[in-house]
Amino acid sequence: MNIKFVVVGKLKEKYFKAGIAEYAKRMSRFCKFKIEEVKDEPTPEGASQAQMDKIMDIEGTRILDHIKNNEYVYALAIWGKELTSEKFAKEIKDLMTYGHSKITFVIGGSLGLAPKVLKRADEQISFGRFTMPHQLMRLVLSEQVYRAFMINEGSPYHK
């Protein structure tokens, strides 16, 4: 099984890097895990909607360049479906059972994801209606993917 995050922007904060590295280490017994960062476009202050759409489109092209046809793609989107940890774990298990060995999660930049990225996604999921920094979302997603593996294993970690 291969788990990949395609994310916009670089992670600068050491505490986020350390947390993600810990979950990556824990996940290594279940899957190959990697994060691919794509360059974020600077957004000028007071950008028009047309400028923001153009920025999202550029970032979207960069994201799609990192996604192969045989990958099952989850796009993180504020209006996506919300799952419990148990339902998320079941989805991951079902994907593995039915031949999806490459699962990719996409986290957009500060403006969100371009429509073409959302269209490519097999699923759009949300971690709630709160807006979170994408750096924090990487850590939260890392933990939830690890939790899904632990739930599927029947581990007491989830309790």
pLDDT of 21 reads: 97
pLDDT at residue 158 greater than cutoff 80: no
| Whole-model pTM over 0.85 | yes
Domain range for residue 13? 2-154
Q: What is the pLDDT of residues 15-56, one digit of tens each?
A: 999 999 999 999 999 999 999 999 999 999 999 999 999 999
CATH number of the domain bearing residue 93: 3.40.1280.10
> pLDDT by residue (tens digit) across 82-95?
999 999 999 999 99
Element (H, E) at 2: strand 2-8
Q: How confident is the model at residue 125 (pLDDT cuts 50, 70, 90)?
A: very high
**46 annotated ligand binder:** no
Q: Flag whether 76 is marked binding.
A: yes
User: Is pLDDT at 131 greater than 90 in this prediction?
Assistant: no
For the beta sheet containing 102-107, the strands, ordered from the edge strand earlier in sequence to the opposite edge, are 32-38, 2-8, 102-107, 72-82, 123-126
Give the chain's domain count. Answer: 1
Bridge partner residues of 37 (DSSP): 7
Q: Please indicate, yes or no, if residue 84 is contained in any of the structural domains.
A: yes
